[in-house]
Amino acid sequence: MSQRTPPGSDAKRLEVRCPSRGEKHLDSLDNPYRPFCSKGCKAIDLGAWASESYRVEAKPTSEDLLDDPGV
C-alpha cells in the first residue's frame, strides 16, 4: 500500500496515473475524484461500467450449461 505525503511536507508527493486518460497527477486526499484526475474522467469510467464495456472473460460452468434452454 502506498503512503501519502502529509500536506505541507517537503518530501516528494506521490504521482499517480488517471485510469481514464493515463496522465499523471498528484495524489491528494483532497481530490474527491481519486484515483481519477477530474469529475469528467470519473464519469467516463462510470459510463464504461454502466454500458458493460468492462468484462471479465469466464468459461461456462456445468451449472450454466444446465440453465441453458438450448441444451
CA angle 28/15/10 to nearest 5° reads 70
Ordered by where they begin, the domains of the chain are 1-54 (3.30.50.10)
Residue 4 confidence (pLDDT): 54
Residue 68 confidence (pLDDT): 58
Residues 6+ apart with CB under 8 A from 17: 23, 24
Per-residue pLDDT of 1-59, as tens digits, reads: 445 555 555 457 899 999 999 999 999 999 999 999 999 999 999 999 999 998 888 88
Q: Which residue has the cell 511536507?
A: 9
Residue 24 confidence (pLDDT): 94
Give this prediction's pTM. 0.57
Residue 70 confidence (pLDDT): 57
Angstrom distance (rounded) from CA 37 to CA 22: 9
